[in-house]
């Protein structure tokens, strides 16, 4: 079995694959203060919920955008699982051609999503990750990572809205029944969600226009992505497991 780990700014998502089959997935908060023992014990306890033995894990691969926790996380995996994880980074075999000014600046999460989007759905494709940040990445028909756009994620926008104003409350992020809001909470929800829908449609259409790719496929992922994907025809596929699948695909390339 293969353990794949996606370390994001807000959450850490783990998946266990047996071949191509995802046997289970888990999510934990990204806390900077965890020790290697806490990581190791927590991960082993998660395995028990799926009746998976630690000895069943043959290898581990990690993509991370949070360098500060990597020493504790990797140490915990080595100590409790007895495996030295593969860390996705510069030099990792991905099959992706990154044609940007500085390829090393492209985050591991974006590379992983791009690999999965391209290999699973074909190119040219735009992969949108509705995470802490919302990212839009263009991968061409030949597998080239051609461009990327980064904007504040829905949660960042929501936090700014209620943290930087004296009287606006903390709210659930969801799409209201109408954009014609008649109360404070639904007006905030309308601004956040419909604003993100509008941004998504504009950016994707602008990518199509500037790249000259009318037939571009659009694949979305990320925790809050389903809210947007269900509300616009601009997104062709919503795949919540895209990053985990990308890690599996990259692992397979590294082991060939």
The closest of 60, 62, 74 to 17, measured between CA atoms, is 60
Rounded to whole angstroms, how far apart are CA atoms 240 and 15?
A: 12
Rounded to whole angstroms, how far apart are CA atoms 126 and 137?
A: 5
> pLDDT of 73-111, one tens digit each?
999 999 999 999 999 988 899 989 888 778 788 889 999
2-87 has CATH 3.30.465.10 classification: no
CATH code for the structural domain at 123-240: 3.30.420.40
How many residues can be counted in the chain? 256
Domains 2-87 and 123-240 are alike in CATH topology: yes
Given the residues 6, 37, 59, 109, the one annotated as active site: 109
* Domain spans of the chain, in order of start: 2-87, 123-240
Annotated active-site residue 45? The verdict is: no
The structure's pTM equals: 0.92
> pLDDT of 141-172, one tens digit each?
999 999 999 999 999 999 999 899 988 999 89
């Amino acid at each position: 079995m293969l353990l794949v780990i996606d370390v994001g700014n807000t959450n850490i998502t783990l998946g266990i694959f047996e071949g191509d089959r995802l046997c289970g997935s888990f999510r934990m908060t990204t806390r900077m203060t965890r020790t290697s023992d806490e990581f190791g014990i927590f991960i082993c306890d998660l395995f028990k919920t799926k009746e998976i033995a630690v000895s069943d894990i043959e290898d581990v691969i990690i993509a991370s955008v949070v360098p500060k926790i990597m020493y504790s996380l990797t140490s915990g995996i080595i100590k409790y699982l007895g495996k030295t994880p593969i860390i996705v980074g510069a030099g990792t075999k991905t099959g992706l051609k990154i044609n940007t000014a500085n390829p090393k600046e492209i985050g591991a999460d974006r590379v992983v999503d791009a690999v999965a989007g391209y290999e699973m759905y074909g190119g040219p494709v735009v992969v949108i990750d509705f995470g802490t940040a919302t990212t839009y990445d263009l991968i061409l028909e030949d597998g080239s990572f051609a461009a990327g756009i980064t904007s504040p994620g829905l949660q960042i926008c929501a936090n700014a809205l209620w943290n930087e104003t004296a009287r606006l409350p903390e709210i659930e992020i969801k799409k209201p029944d109408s954009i014609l809001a008649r109360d404070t909470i639904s007006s905030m929800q309308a601004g956040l969600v419909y604003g993100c829908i509008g941004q998504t449609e504009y950016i994707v259409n602008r990518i199509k226009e500037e790249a000259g790719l009318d037939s571009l496929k659009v694949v979305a992922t990320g925790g809050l992505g389903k809210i947007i994907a269900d509300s616009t025809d601009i997104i062709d596929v919503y795949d919540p497991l895209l990053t985990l699948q990308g890690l599996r695909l990259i692992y397979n390339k590294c082991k060939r």
